[in-house]
């Protein structure tokens, strides 16, 4: 199915790694013009080179930007508009989880996590809103977590922040509807990305392969499909929800979690 991406412009925050990088790759393959940002310039440049080597250089803008920094987000927005002339879709993906129980989480950690989860969406959304409205068929997709509905005690403040964010997404879907900007989210379970690559050397048994460690974790977590997701899997859901083909879908939350949710 042609998702209608040819010549549309999409912005993907956190596009240098994992789900964001695969989302950008799928969008480029579908003919979109794509802007990605992340804080780390080196990894961003490596991703940009990979895409350019695959022949997508003309349709790609990669610029370092911390999505929490208002001025940096404004500069990124200006660069995107200068290069592509408009924006049709914004994928709010940048982020990471915080592993801690209530007993381990002090006020500073609570404040940092609540700030991060909300403002990493609020700031890019506010900055790109006029351009999305001008598109006439704008779309925002937020990469959120199943923790929003199914909290985990070992990720207490990330779970609470994700739930609040999900509530915000619903409000935005209603407020932006008159401008024909759709707002949806995906709720992901566990996806084998950089976050898990960093945990592997710390958590695996000596000599245990990453595949074996992930298989054990999938079993422990009771994931019905028996494995972690691959970054391209949630990316495909994002690309669909942000596309013109999803034109009557707004305020929806799509689980991409291997069946691990316990909700009917």
Give contact residues for ligand NDP (rule: CB under 6 A): 13-14, 16-20, 37-40, 43, 66-68, 93-97, 120, 143, 145, 188, 190-191, 193-195, 231
What is the CB neighbour count within 10 angstroms for residue 54? 12
What contacts 143, CB < 8 A, 6 or more positions away?
19, 20, 91, 92, 93, 95, 185, 186, 188, 234, 238
When the beta carbons of 11 and 37 are compared against ligand NDP, the nearer one is 37
When the beta carbons of 94 and 131 are compared against ligand NDP, the nearer one is 94
Determine the residue with CB nearest ligand NDP: 18
CA distance 37 to 15: 6
Q: For residue 42, give the nearest of 20, 17, 60 by alpha carbon.
A: 17
When the beta carbons of 162 and 182 are compared against ligand NDP, the nearer one is 162
Least distance from ligand NDP to the Cβ atom of residue 94, Å: 3
Least distance from ligand NDP to the Cβ atom of residue 178, Å: 28
Report whether 20 contacts 142 (CB < 8 A): no
Report whether 32 contacts 5 (CB < 8 A): yes
When the beta carbons of 206 and 220 are compared against ligand NDP, the nearer one is 220
When the beta carbons of 94 and 132 are compared against ligand NDP, the nearer one is 94
Least distance from ligand NDP to the Cβ atom of residue 221, Å: 11
CA distance 171 to 173: 5
Least distance from ligand NDP to the Cβ atom of residue 11, Å: 12
Least distance from ligand NDP to the Cβ atom of residue 187, Å: 8
Burial of 27 from C-beta contacts in 10 A (0-12 / 13-18 / 19+): buried
Least distance from ligand NDP to the Cβ atom of residue 98, Å: 9
C-alpha dihedral (150, 152, 156, 157), degrees to nearest 10 = -50
When the beta carbons of 174 and 197 are compared against ligand NDP, the nearer one is 197
For the sheet with 9-13, list strands across it: 60-64, 33-38, 9-13, 89-92, 139-145, 182-188, 253-256
When the beta carbons of 18 and 138 are compared against ligand NDP, the nearer one is 18
Least distance from ligand NDP to the Cβ atom of residue 20, Å: 5
SS3 of 88, please?
A: coil
């Amino acid at each position: 199915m042609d998702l209608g991406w040819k010549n549309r412009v999409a912005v993907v925050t956190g596009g240098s790694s994992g789900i964001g990088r695969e989302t950008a790759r799928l969008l480029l393959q579908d003919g979109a013009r794509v802007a990605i940002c992340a804080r780390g310039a080196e990894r961003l440049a490596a991703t940009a080179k990979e895409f350019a080597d695959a022949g997508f250089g003309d349709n790609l803008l990669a610029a370092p930007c911390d999505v929490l920094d208002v001025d940096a987000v404004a500069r990124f927005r200006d660069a995107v508009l200068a290069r592509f002339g408009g924006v049709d879709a914004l994928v709010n993906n940048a982020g990471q989880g915080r592993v801690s129980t209530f007993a381990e989480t002090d006020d500073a950690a609570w404040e940092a996590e609540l700030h991060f989860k909300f403002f990493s969406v609020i700031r890019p959304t506010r900055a790109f809103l006029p351009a999305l409205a001008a598109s006439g068929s704008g779309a925002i997709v937020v990469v959120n977590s199943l923790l929003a509905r199914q909290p985990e005690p070992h990720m207490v403040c990330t779970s609470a922040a994700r739930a609040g964010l999900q509530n915000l997404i619903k409000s935005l879907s209603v407020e932006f509807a008159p401008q024909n900007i759709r707002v949806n989210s995906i709720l992901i379970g566990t996806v084998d990305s950089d976050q898990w690559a960093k945990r592997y050397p710390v958590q695996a048994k000596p000599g245990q392969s990453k595949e074996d460690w992930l298989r054990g974790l999938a079993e422990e977590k009771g994931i019905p499909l028996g494995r972690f997701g691959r970054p391209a899997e949630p990316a495909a859901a994002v690309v669909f929800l942000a596309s013109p083909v999803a034109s009557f879908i707004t305020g929806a939350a799509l689980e991409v979690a291997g069946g691990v949710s316990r909700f009917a």
